[in-house]
Amino acid sequence: MTKVLLNDLTVRDGNQSLMATRMEKEDIISLVEKLDKVGYNALEVWGGATFDTALRFLRESPWEILREIRKAAKNTKLSMLLRGQNLVGYRQYDNETLERFIRLSIENGIDIIRVFDALNDLNNIEYSVRFIKKYGGHCQCAISYTVSPVHTESYFVDLVKQMAKLGADSICIKDMAGILLPDAAYSLVKAIKSVTDLPVNIHSHTTAGLTNLVMLRAMEAGVDIVDTAISPFSGGTSHIAAETIIASAKYIGRQVAYSEEGLDDAFELADKVAQKYIDSNQYNARALVVNPKILQYEVPGGMLSNLMSQLQDQNMFHKLNEVMREIPVVRKDMGYPPLVTPLSQMVGTQAMLNVLRGERYAMVPNEIKEYLRGSYGKAPAAIDPDVRIRILGDEPEMKPRPITALTPVFAEAVKELSDKLGRTALEEEALSYILFPQFAVLDDEKGLQIPVKSGSDENTVIEFEMFIER
């Protein structure tokens, strides 16, 4: 177990956690060119919120960004984050859409797809695994780590066994909130490695200030791969610095293969890029502050930074602690879903509505109603029956719908979009339109970029996308 591999998450998760994914394409490409020469196992560059924000804020085609990243990374594998049947959106999509998206992602340069489900419902990742394998990608199945009466070590170990049976090529412990404790990390890595020979990757945000110890203990337990960010984009709601992991690994006798010159060059550029966004107030310095209360509230770092921003915009920042206290209450009512996209958005929005309205569940977004109806999968634990009745009345309980029951929409999307364009829509354009119909292809030079209609639900007072998972 002497060798440990490093992943770099700078332009995806570091960018997303500290800058709400606002890094411009030119900076992404220049950083990838430098990071490509360090010797990382993989660069995570796509998926998560990058697709949404490329369209919504950067006014760029996410597909074109991926192709340019692939050209810039000549030596290193590229990875992306996929929300299982939710793809990179906020609801479940049919299997034709899923298969086309996965195939195009791999064809345009992705090597490794890390797939997870917000509820750890393996029915929601089964077809993703199948399609990733079909098109020659490396499928890394991730457990969404959280803490609750039902989320025990044996629960996660059993998930890993099932993921291995589905065909996973590697396993990720995805600690999106940074709540994994050092000894728990050691024990969990040991337990997982005792039941599978698959490589184990650990992912943990530094929000609570514990990740140095967490990664040290995980490496002592034999973890194979560690997620990092280059130091100017590390810390706080982001990830541990690669430089720190290299020093820690050497201290305990774990070998790390990397180019010292390449790492230095990447740091120099990343430092300049970070300063650019600090000067423009897009790099959220507040997100760098250690917040041990995360261990109590279990709020993912990105959700926290965007929650603070959203409350600030509404002149309600003084309500932050009250909202934070409300989040675990809503989570318990909802059957302890892990706080990861889209459940983090849903629980966070509901908690905020409860606080701002001064009454629990007086206003409920449609997404919460659909969750209670089983549209997102099986809840980890029982949903509070009184809360369900308050929200849905006497609606009969429904079993989660089968994935195969989802109606294919690709052909309809192509027709609708082609009519708008006056030409036949490309496959990638149609997929983007399915995922984010509030943006349409109206500019042939830059693709999907012009907002044409509101995609928000009138019942959702807090913008759903602001609580992006990290």
- What are the chain's domains? 5-286 (3.20.20.70), 299-403 (1.10.472.90)
Backbone dihedral region for residue 172 (phi beyond 0: left; psi -120 to 50: alpha; all else: beta): beta
Cβ neighbours for 156, distance < 8 A, ≥ 6 positions apart: 143, 145, 173, 188, 191, 192
The H-or-E segment that residue 71 falls in is: helix 62-72
* Each residue's pLDDT expressed in tens, for the chain with a length of 470 residues: 689 999 999 999 999 989 988 999 999 999 999 999 999 999 999 999 999 889 988 889 999 999 999 999 999 999 999 999 999 998 899 999 999 999 999 999 999 999 999 999 999 999 999 999 999 999 999 999 999 999 999 999 999 999 999 999 999 999 998 999 999 999 999 999 999 999 999 999 998 899 999 999 999 999 999 999 999 999 998 999 999 999 999 999 999 999 999 999 999 999 999 999 999 998 988 788 887 878 887 877 667 666 777 788 788 889 988 999 999 999 999 999 998 888 888 899 899 999 999 999 999 999 999 999 988 999 999 999 999 999 999 998 777 778 999 999 999 999 999 998 889 999 999 999 999 988 645 454 444 443 333 333 333 333 433 333 33
DSSP type of residue 11: I
**145 neighbors 377 (Cβ within 8 angstroms):** no
pTM of the model: 0.90
Contact of 281 with 30, CB cutoff 8 Å: no
CA 157-203-99 angle, to 5 degrees, is 80
Measured in residues, the chain has a length of 470
User: Residue 1 has what pLDDT?
Assistant: 60
Contacts of 293 (CB under 8 A, 6+ apart): 324
CA 388-394-398 angle, to 5 degrees, is 70
Residue 435 · residue 87 · CB < 8 Å: yes
